[in-house]
């Protein structure tokens, strides 16, 4: 995998300290290595910490073309969990949200687009690099999904009332350019809604580098300080930061435990067999949401 040096993708400076070293064993990666909600491999790039904004980011990191190829080739088998996530995120939508044109970046099978449709949005667009994920979408929603990566030039200025980007900013090489593009693409009064991992969340601090957020897919990991800095650098001034309580089936939470994969797989299969694994449990595992208003 081709990698390149990078500065802090928010501050664009090289003032940094080593957060942790890489431990990637490429021969052990499978078709789900770049899939969402997979069994964690506990692998990561070398991570640096910016001494200015506090962002933890990969340096060196894979080049964009390599990433695009990996996401396009990735398998997808987490429709149930994707629906749960979409329902969770929809519960945080502002009650007075203007129903205009909406865009969901990294939409997967369009689960959140379905939630936006139920919320009253008529004009929907989704962007997703994985054909495997798109293939799972409801046919009526699939028609609104474009296969590929987010291209800033494709989003006209002042054209969207709402843009969402969930658990995706960690995966892209230039989160600042993407977020600035979203700011420009929003109409005045429009909303940019993101959800990211919080590296300073209690669970993530307790688990350290054994947390599933330390992953080969993640090119950066945000803290409250760094994600707010990202929003401000993108042009937003009205920014609301809040913890997110995800509601997933028990079998998914078990999948994330820092145990040998064979143990978690067997435990997941057992819990599903006795139906206990399908009980949905809300937990704050260290995710944070941002509603940024233009």
pLDDT score recorded for residue 13 = 84
Q: pTM of the entire structure? A: 0.94
Q: What is the pLDDT of residues 141-169, one digit of tens each?
A: 999 999 999 988 888 999 999 999 999 99
Q: What is the pLDDT of residues 42-58, one digit of tens each?
A: 899 999 999 999 999 99
**HEC profile of 72-126:** HHCCCCCHHHHHHHHHHHHCCCCCCCCCCCEEEECCCCCHHHHHHHHHCCCCEEE
The domain defined by 3-293 carries CATH number 3.40.50.150 = yes
Distance CA 279, CA 84 (A): 12
* pLDDT band per the 50, 70, 90 thresholds, residue 33: confident
How far, CA to CA in Å, does 267 sit from each of 38, 113, 210, 276?
15, 32, 19, 11
Q: Give the contacts of 189 (CB within 8 A, at least 6 positions apart).
A: 98, 161, 293, 294
Residue with tokens 């937990």: 283
Distance CA 15, CA 142 (A): 44
Phi and psi (nearest 5°) for 133?
-70, -45
Average pLDDT, the chain: 92
CA atoms within 13 A on the CB side of 269: 6
Alpha helix ranges (H) inside the chain: 64-73, 79-90, 111-119, 131-134, 139-142, 175-185, 202-207, 224-234, 250-255, 261-273
Exposed/middle/buried for 202, CB within 10 Å: 0-12, 13-18, 19+? exposed
């Amino acid at each position: 995998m081709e990698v390149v040096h990078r500065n802090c993708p928010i501050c664009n400076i090289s003032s940094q300290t080593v957060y942790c070293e890489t431990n990637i064993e490429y021969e052990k990666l499978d078709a789900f290595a770049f899939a969402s909600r997979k069994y964690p491999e506990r692998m990561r790039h070398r991570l640096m910490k910016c001494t200015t904004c506090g962002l933890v980011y990969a340096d060196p990191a894979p080049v964009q073309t390599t990433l695009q190829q990996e996401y396009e080739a990735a398998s997808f088998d987490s429709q149930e969990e994707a629906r749960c996530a979409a329902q969770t995120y929809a519960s945080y939508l502002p009650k007075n949200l203007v129903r205009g044109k909406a865009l969901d970046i990294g939409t997967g099978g369009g689960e959140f687009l379905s939630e936006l449709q139920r919320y009253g949005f008529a004009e929907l667009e989704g962007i997703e690099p994985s054909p495997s994920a798109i293939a799972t979408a409801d046919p009526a929603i699939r028609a609104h999904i474009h296969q590929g990566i987010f291209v800033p030039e494709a989003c006209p200025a002042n054209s969207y009332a709402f843009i969402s980007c969930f658990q995706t900013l960690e995966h892209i090489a230039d989160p600042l350019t993407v977020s600035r593009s979203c700011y420009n693409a929003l109409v005045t009064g429009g909303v940019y809604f993101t959800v990211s991992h919080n590296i300073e969340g209690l669970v993530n601090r307790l688990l350290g580098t054994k947390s599933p957020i330390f992953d080969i897919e993640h090119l950066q990991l945000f803290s409250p300080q760094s994600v707010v800095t990202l929003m401000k650098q993108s042009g937003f001034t009205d920014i609301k930061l809040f913890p997110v309580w995800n509601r997933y089936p028990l079998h998914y939470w078990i999948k994330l435990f820092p145990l040998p994969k064979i143990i978690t797989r067997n435990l997941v299969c057992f819990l599903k067999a006795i139906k206990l694994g399908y009980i949905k449990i809300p937990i704050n595992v260290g995710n944070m949401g941002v509603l940024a208003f233009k």
